[in-house]
Amino acid sequence: MQTIDEIKMLLHRNKLRLHQELLQSKEAMHLIRKSTHSSLTEEEKLKIKVQLLDICKAIPAFTVFMLPGGALLLPLLIKLIPDILPSAFRDDVK
């Protein structure tokens, strides 16, 4: 069993990761808006592509979580298919 301090640390780490993911999504939305007025650089196009793939990866994970027993099934699915997590949750938070 994990101690309360370990649980607090995990919650804090995941809060930071969620914040990072939201910032990346916000940046992608800004770039998409920018693309309606001017052309994007290759780096900006790559950022949008990566972020849209992250969003598409989150949908199946959310669907599994919503199933009965999904809270138990999702960690197993992540162990089997680690690429299902968005990039902010795969990288270590600095």
Q: Is the pLDDT of residue 33 over 90?
A: yes
Residue 52's pLDDT is what?
87
What is the model's pTM? 0.63
Q: How would DSSP label each residue in the chain?
A: ---HHHHHHHHHHHHHHHHHHHHHHHHHHHHHHHHTTSPPPHHHHHHHHHHHHHHHHHHHHHHHHHSTTHHHHHHHHHHH-GGGS-HHHHSPP-
Q: Could you read off the pLDDT of 51-77 as tens digits, one per residue?
A: 888 888 777 777 877 888 877 877 777
